[in-house]
Amino acid sequence: MVVMRIDLHAHSTESDGTDSPAGLISAAVRAGLDVVALTDHDTTAGWAEAAKAVPPGLTLVPGAELSTVSADPVTGRQISVHLLAYLFDPASSALVLEQSRLREERRTRLRRMAEKMAADGLPVDPDDVMDRLPPDAAGGRPHLAQALMRAGLVESVSHAFDSYLAKGSGYYVGREDTPIELAIDMIAAAGGVTVIAHPFARSRGAVIRPETLAGLAARGLTGVEIDHPDHDAPTRAELRGLAAELGLLVTGSSDYHGTNKPTKIGAETTDPVVYEELVSRATGSSVVVG
C-alpha cells in the first residue's frame, strides 16, 4: 500500500516563515511529502511562486491562515483564533480588502513595537526591520525576534517571545483581527473551506470553549486541526471527541515556519480520506498537481 503524506499548514517568507514559497516546496519534496498546503498569515502572495515550483509527484493546496477573534460568551473577552482557509478564490473582493487591511495593520503594529524597543534603548532599528520585509508580506513578531537575534540579545525566536514579545511585555502592541464568524462567511462565499488551527493550544493564551466550537460548526466551519505540535495527547483526545460530536473534519499538520520554529515540515500529517473530503467540498480554486 502506498502511504500518502499530507501536511496542510506551512508558512513562507510571505509571512513569518523563513523559506521562500519555492524553498518551501523544495523542503516538502525533501521531506517526502505528497501534498503540502501553503498557509501564510493573512496573504495569498506566495501562491503563484509556490505553484510554479511544484515538481511531478507533489500537490500544492493553496491556502492562508486568517487572524481572527472570537468573543468569549462568558467573559466577553476577545479570544485570538487562527483560521486555516483552503482552496478559496483569492480574487474575492471582500477577502482581498480585509486581508490587505490586516497586512497594513500588521506593518503599522510591527513598526510601533520596533519603535518602542528602540525608545527603550534596545539596538533595534525600526526602518531596518521594515526594509527587510518583502513588500506585500504579513509582518509578525517573529520578524522582531529575528532583529533581536541579529542584535545578539536572544539566541532563538522562542527566547525572544519569552523575554520581549509576549502579550504581557511592555513592547507588545495589539491588532484588530477579523471576527471569526465574518471570516468563515467570507471564505465560504469565496468557495473555500475552513479549519481552525490549533484550537486548544492553551500555551498560546485563552482558547475558545466547546460551545463556541459548536456554534461555529453550525455556521459552516469545516474542520479542526488536532494533530499539531502545540496539542498534547489529552488535548488531542478531548478535541477528537468534540469533532466527532459536531461532525467536523480532523486534520494534522506541522505548522512549519522554517528556522523560526523547531518543528520540521511533515512532522504531523492529515489522513488522505480527510484531505480528499476537503478538496471535494471546495470550489473557489484548485489544487496544483505537479
* Binding site residues, Zn ion, CB under 5 A: 65, 255
Quick one: what does residue 284 bind among Fe ion, Zn ion, ligand AMP, none, with the CB cut-off 5 to 8 Å set by partner type?
Answer: none
Binding residues among 15-54 for Fe ion as defined by CB under 5 A: 16
Q: From 29-37, 95-103, 138-146, 273-281, give the range in contact with ligand AMP by CB under 6 A.
A: 138-146
Quick one: what does residue 141 bind among ligand AMP, Zn ion, Fe ion, none, with the CB cut-off 5 to 8 Å set by partner type?
Answer: ligand AMP
Query: Residue 141 CB, nearest distance to ligand AMP (Å)?
Result: 4
Provide the 3-class DSSP secondary structure of residue 83: strand
Given the complex with ligand AMP, which of 39 and 92 has the nearer CB atom?
A: 39
CA distance 182 to 258: 30
Given the complex with Fe ion, which of 4 and 132 has the nearer CB atom?
A: 132
CA distance 16 to 71: 26
Given the complex with Fe ion, which of 14 and 16 has the nearer CB atom?
A: 16
The answer to the question of residue 9 lying near ligand AMP (CB under 6 A) is no
The answer to the question of residue 228 lying near ligand AMP (CB under 6 A) is no
Instruction: Yes or no: say if 138 and 109 are a contact pair by the CB < 8 Å rule.
Output: no
- The identity of residue 284, as a single letter, is G
Query: Residue 24 CB, nearest distance to ligand AMP (Å)?
Result: 14
Q: For residue 151, what is its C-alpha cell?
A: 542584535
Given the complex with Zn ion, which of 10 and 248 has the nearer CB atom?
A: 10
Query: Residue 146 CB, nearest distance to Fe ion (Å)?
Result: 13
Quick one: what does residue 249 bind among Fe ion, ligand AMP, Zn ion, none, with the CB cut-off 5 to 8 Å set by partner type?
Answer: none
Instruction: Yes or no: say if 36 and 23 are a contact pair by the CB < 8 Å rule.
Output: no
Given the complex with ligand AMP, which of 229 and 272 has the nearer CB atom?
A: 229
Cross-strand pairs, 69: 80, 179
Contacting ligand AMP (CB under 6 A), which of 158, 191, 277, 279? 158
Contacting Fe ion (CB under 5 A), which of 82, 106, 143, 228? 82
- How many whole angstroms from its chain centre is CA 173? 19
Provide the 3-class DSSP secondary structure of residue 5: coil
Instruction: Yes or no: say if 261 and 228 are a contact pair by the CB < 8 Å rule.
Output: no
Instruction: Yes or no: say if 39 and 15 are a contact pair by the CB < 8 Å rule.
Output: no
The answer to the question of residue 102 lying near ligand AMP (CB under 6 A) is no
Contacting ligand AMP (CB under 6 A), which of 50, 257, 263, 287? 257
Instruction: Yes or no: say if 278 and 249 are a contact pair by the CB < 8 Å rule.
Output: yes
Count of residues interacting with ligand AMP (CB under 6 A) = 11
Burial class (CB in 10 A: 0-12, 13-18, 19+), 128: exposed
Cross-strand pairs, 63: 39, 86
Cross-strand pairs, 179: 69
Binding residues among 180-199 for Fe ion as defined by CB under 5 A: 197
Binding residues among 261-280 for ligand AMP as defined by CB under 6 A: 261
CA distance 14 to 18: 9
Question: Looking up cell 480527510, which residue turns up?
Answer: 274
CA distance 65 to 82: 6
The answer to the question of residue 157 lying near ligand AMP (CB under 6 A) is yes
The answer to the question of residue 198 lying near ligand AMP (CB under 6 A) is no
Residue nearest to ligand AMP (CB): 140
